[in-house]
Amino acid sequence: MLKPFLTAALITLLPLSGAVAAEKGQDHSHGEAEKGKHGGIVQDVAGVEAELVVTPGTVAVYLSNHGTAVLSPDGAMGSVLLTQGATRVGTIALKPAGDRLEGKGEVPAGADIVLSLRTRDGKTGQAKYELGGHAH
């Protein structure tokens, strides 16, 4: 009876473990986050730069080769987990749309985003984008 409970708990917490690992590798200085050419937040994910841009009703991720070249989103895929504190408040699937990965959905005010990305060459990674404006 304990084994199914532990399995369910592990499945529930597994996506967040990658976010914590990605977060540990990030600089948490209290200055401004790096801004991309589309006005979004840039982080290294799965060996590429991923610029997250949130607009009403849409989440977009632009990929580049560390600022030197724009990467086509063809063959890539991703999703965003929306969180408020430790509470999950939704997910949005991302698919290629023109020069970016894009998903439709609202990001609640104060929410943070955990991006899970698989590049077209099969590399995977996660990163947390803190949008909620909270201090740490």
Among 26-30, 34-38, 101-105, whose mean pLDDT is lowest?
A: 26-30
Percent of the chain with pLDDT over 90: 62
Contact by Cβ (8 Å): 40, 51: yes
More confident: 8 or 130: 130
pLDDT at 47: 94
Give the mean pLDDT of the chain.
Answer: 80
Beta strands in the chain (DSSP E): 41-45, 48-55, 58-64, 77-84, 87-97, 100-104, 112-118, 124-129
pLDDT value of residue 68: 75
DSSP 32: P
Q: Can you give the residue ranges of every domain in the chain?
A: 2-26+33-129
CATH number 2.60.40 is the correct assignment for the domain at 2-26+33-129: yes
Mean pLDDT of 71-93: 95
Mean pLDDT confidence for 20-43: 61
pLDDT of residue 59: 98
55, exposed or middle or buried, with CB in 10 Å at 0-12, 13-18, 19+? exposed
